Amino acid sequence: MRDYWEEPEVVHKKINSKKIIISVVVSILVIAFIVITALYITNVDFRSWIDVQIFRKEVSQDSVATIELEENQTTNVYAFNKYIGILNKNKLYVYGSTGSQETSLDIQINNPVFDSENRFLIVGESGGQKIYLIEDKEIAWESEIEGNITQVYVNKNGYVAVIMSDTSYKSVIQVFNPEGEALFKKFLSSTIAVDVSISNDNKYLAIAEVDTSGTVIQSNIRIIIIEKARTDPEDSEEKNYKSEQNKLLVNITYQKDNRIVCMYTDTINIIENDQETVVFDNQNKKITAQSVELDNYFATIQEESSGIFSANSVINIVDSQSRNTKNYTVDTSVKEMYTKGDIIALNLGTEVEFINTGGWLVKRYIASQEVTNVKVSDSIAGIIYRDKVEIINL
């Protein structure tokens, strides 16, 4: 009976105040992070303040590394990989992100044409015969070709295509492998090659051709099987896509999954699954610039009136696979657009804004004078003046 009437012992559970405090603090931080992220995405003024004050995305002219140029020297500047290259008096001087010279290469070229992709830089003598492929900071190979070089191209794996003109043909395209072996030539007797691109798997060469000999302009894109062209160039054509008459083709590029993005003066088309489709039409839009030289995207700049004497520029960044569009707006006219890889550079006069294909600001450069020329790669940019090159790390 005693056990029955005896009151049970009350156990007082000890509260772990430390765990409660930690849980509260973590919850507050998570909520604060969500709120800040939402504000950053939706509020332009807040995003601008965070970019400048927290992320330090704004740099001024007096705070960047500089490469001094000799007065009155003729220089050719190009940004590639993580370097700035300056070609002067048959020497290519290669500078790193801090502005220090890392190496110099003997390049017997005076009037260059450049192209770069990944760690490769191709340099050709415009109107001449010499070409050099540079891999990282070394000359991989050099060659002298027959014909007068008008354009050079390199893909991310080091395959090279050179467009030439000669007395017998309007255009000749010669393709080289990464070791410098000449694979084949393609001769065009009635059309002019305005651009070329090699697929990421190195299997196909696309040639953008324009025929202006008739009463109307005829553009077409010819697809060549590279392996087949090595043994039989005349029977190596897989497809030939003819555009509508009077459409002027300007630029083409192979992107992911052998998708070809084609830039005309009035539309941007995509060739996929053996079909060419219009994905962006310039009609009834004030398009001031456009580019397909991006990784799996293309970009256009559309100017929109924001007042009687003012205009905004809307940069449309379109995913070439999903066709989804991201927008980035600046409250002024864009003088020039430069693109490479994942980077879009917008010259606004005394400012240059570098954005990525996600539509986010990467870096804003503010100058005390008008910017006239910019060279850009995925990770570095050069702001070119008469007496210096200023380096922007992206």
Asked if pLDDT for residue 154 goes beyond 80, the answer is: yes
Residue 213: pLDDT band (50, 70, 90) is: confident
The pLDDT, as a whole number, for residue 44 is 67
Asked if pLDDT for residue 249 goes beyond 70, the answer is: yes
b/e code 77-87 from CB counts within 10 Å (16+ = b): bbbbbbbbbbb
Task: Answer for the pair 121, 134: CB distance below 8 angstroms, yes or no.
Answer: yes
Asked if pLDDT for residue 88 goes beyond 70, the answer is: yes
Which residues 6+ apart lie within 8 Å of 238 measured at CB? 204, 223, 224, 225
Q: Which has more confidence, 236 or 31?
A: 236
Asked if pLDDT for residue 117 goes beyond 90, the answer is: yes
The pLDDT, as a whole number, for residue 72 is 67
Which residues 6+ apart lie within 8 Å of 143 measured at CB? 130, 131, 176, 180, 182
Q: Which has more confidence, 90 or 36?
A: 90
Which residues 6+ apart lie within 8 Å of 63 measured at CB? none
The pLDDT, as a whole number, for residue 28 is 79
Asked if pLDDT for residue 215 goes beyond 90, the answer is: no
Quickly list DSSP for 34-64.
Answer: HHHHHHHHH-HHHHHHHHHHTS--EEEGGGS
Residue 81: pLDDT band (50, 70, 90) is: very high
Task: Answer for the pair 82, 97: CB distance below 8 angstroms, yes or no.
Answer: yes
d(CA 117, CA 115): 7
Share the mean pLDDT of the chain: 90
The pLDDT, as a whole number, for residue 42 is 67
For the entire predicted model, the pTM comes to 0.88
Average pLDDT score over residue span 184-203: 95
Asked if pLDDT for residue 308 goes beyond 80, the answer is: no
268-291: pLDDT as tens digits = 999 999 999 999 999 889 999 999
The pLDDT, as a whole number, for residue 263 is 97
Side chain identity at residue 337, one-letter code: M
The pLDDT, as a whole number, for residue 167 is 73
Quickly list DSSP for 78-108.
Answer: EEETTEEEEEETTEEEEE-TTS-EEEEEE--
Lowest mean pLDDT among 21-35, 98-112, 175-189, 321-335: 21-35
Q: Which has more confidence, 75 or 15?
A: 75
Closest CA to 356 of 333, 331, 381: 381
2-17: pLDDT as tens digits = 555 555 555 555 566 7
The pLDDT, as a whole number, for residue 3 is 53
The pLDDT, as a whole number, for residue 54 is 73
- What does DSSP say about strands 130-135 and 148-154: parallel, antiparallel, or unpaired? unpaired
The pLDDT, as a whole number, for residue 64 is 93
The pLDDT, as a whole number, for residue 58 is 86
